[in-house]
C-alpha cells in the first residue's frame, strides 16, 4: 500500500501533468481513496487511455463521469472507459493450444460465461448508457486483457448494439466503440500491425465532424504498458 501511495500515484500524476492533462487533483484523490482496490485498477486504465488520446493530439480532462472529456480543434467529445480482464476461457484455450499440434477453436465463451464476447461488449455499452452525455458525441473505450475480447469481434458487437439503439434515445447518445488490445495483430486491409480499433454506431443523435472521426480512426497503435501498477 505504501508503494502505491508513495511511488505509483506520484509517478502517474507526473506523467499525466507532463502531457497537460487536466483534472489531476481530483483524480489523484480518487486514486488515493481507492488504493489497493479494483476501483484503483480501473482508474489506472482511465489514465492510460487519457495518455493515448493526449499523444494523438487531444486536449484531455480526467473527470468522474464520464471518465474523460476530449477536445480536438474546439470540438468536445466524451469517453467512458471500461476494462475486460483475462478470462478463464483464455487460460483453457492456451492450454488446449499447448496440448494439440492442430488448430483448436478459441474465444468461445458461452460454456464458461454464458455469453459470447461480442454480446458482452454490447451489454457493457448498454449498461454504461446513463453515463453518456446528452447533446455531445460519446465514445466507449474498451481496454482488454482477454484474447476472447478483441478487435475482430468489435463490428459484431456494434451491430448488436445498433439493433438495440434503434428507437432508444438514451442508447443513441453513443457514437462509437474503441477497443485497445494488449496484443498487436496484422490488419490485412490496412497492411499495418495494430492493437487499437474504432467502429462507429449507426444511430447516434449527435454527429461527429469528419476530422474527429478520422483522428480517432487513425489511432492504430498504443504501446504504453497499461499495467502502471508495475512501475
- Quick one: which H or E segment has residue 142? strand 138-144
Q: What are the residues whose beta carbons fall under 8 Å from the beta carbon of 163, sequence distance 6 or more?
A: none
Q: Is the peptide bond before 66 cis (omega within 30 degrees of 0)?
A: yes
Tens of pLDDT, residue by residue, the chain (231 residues)? 677 777 888 889 999 999 999 999 999 999 999 988 888 888 999 999 999 999 999 999 999 999 999 999 999 999 999 998 876 766 665 665 665 665 555 666 677 777 889 999 999 999 999 999 999 999 999 999 888 888 999 999 999 999 999 989 999 999 999 999 988 777 777 677 899 999 999 999 999 999 999 999 999 999 765 555 454
CB 70 within 8 A of CB 168: no
pLDDT digits (tens, 9 = 90+) for 43-62: 999 999 999 999 999 999 99
pLDDT digits (tens, 9 = 90+) for 60-104: 999 999 999 999 999 999 999 999 887 676 666 566 566 566 555
Burial 73-110 (b: 16+ CB within 10 A, else e): eeeebbbbbbbbeebebbeebeeeeeeeeeeeeebebe
Burial-class residue 52 by CB neighbours within 10 Å (0-12, 13-18, 19+).
buried
Residues 58 and 131: their CA atoms lie apart, in Å, by: 21
pTM (2 d.p.)? 0.89
The pLDDT value recorded for residue 229 is 46
Instruction: Determine the 3-state secondary structure of 178 from DSSP.
Output: strand
Report the sign of the C-alpha dihedral through residues 36, 80, 218, 47, in that order: negative
CB 185 within 8 A of CB 194: yes
Closest Cα to residue 130, out of 160, 166, 174? 174
Amino acid at each position: 500500500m505504501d508503494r502505491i501511495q508513495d511511488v505509483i500515484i506520484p509517478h502517474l500524476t507526473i506523467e499525466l501533468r507532463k502531457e497537460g492533462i487536466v483534472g489531476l487533483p481530483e483524480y489523484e484523490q480518487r486514486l488515493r481513496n481507492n488504493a489497493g482496490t479494483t476501483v484503483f485498477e480501473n482508474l489506472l486504465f482511465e489514465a492510460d487511455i487519457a495518455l493515448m488520446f493526449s499523444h494523438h493530439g487531444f486536449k484531455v480532462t480526467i473527470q468522474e463521469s464520464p471518465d474523460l472529456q476530449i477536445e480536438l480543434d474546439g470540438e468536445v467529445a466524451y469517453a467512458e472507459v471500461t476494462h475486460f480482464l483475462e478470462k478463464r476461457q483464455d487460460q483453457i484455450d492456451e492450454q488446449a493450444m499447448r496440448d494439440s499440434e492442430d488448430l483448436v477453436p478459441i474465444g468461445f465463451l458461452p460454456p464458461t460465461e454464458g455469453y459470447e464476447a461480442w454480446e458482452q461488449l454490447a451489454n457493457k455499452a448498454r449498461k454504461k448508457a446513463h453515463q453518456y452525455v446528452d447533446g455531445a458525441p460519446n465514445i466507449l473505450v474498451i481496454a482488454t486483457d482477454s484474447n476472447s475480447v478483441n478487435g475482430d469481434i468489435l463490428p459484431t458487437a456494434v451491430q448488436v448494439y445498433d439493433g438495440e439503439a434503434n428507437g432508444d434515445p438514451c442508447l443513441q447518445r453513443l457514437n462509437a466503440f474503441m477497443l485497445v488490445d494488449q496484443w498487436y495483430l496484422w490488419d490485412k486491409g490496412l497492411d499495418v500491425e495494430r492493437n487499437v480499433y474504432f467502429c462507429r454506431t449507426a444511430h447516434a443523435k449527435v454527429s461527429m465532424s469528419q476530422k474527429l472521426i478520422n483522428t480517432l480512426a487513425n489511432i492504430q497503435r498504443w504501446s504504453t504498458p497499461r499495467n502502471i501498477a508495475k512501475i
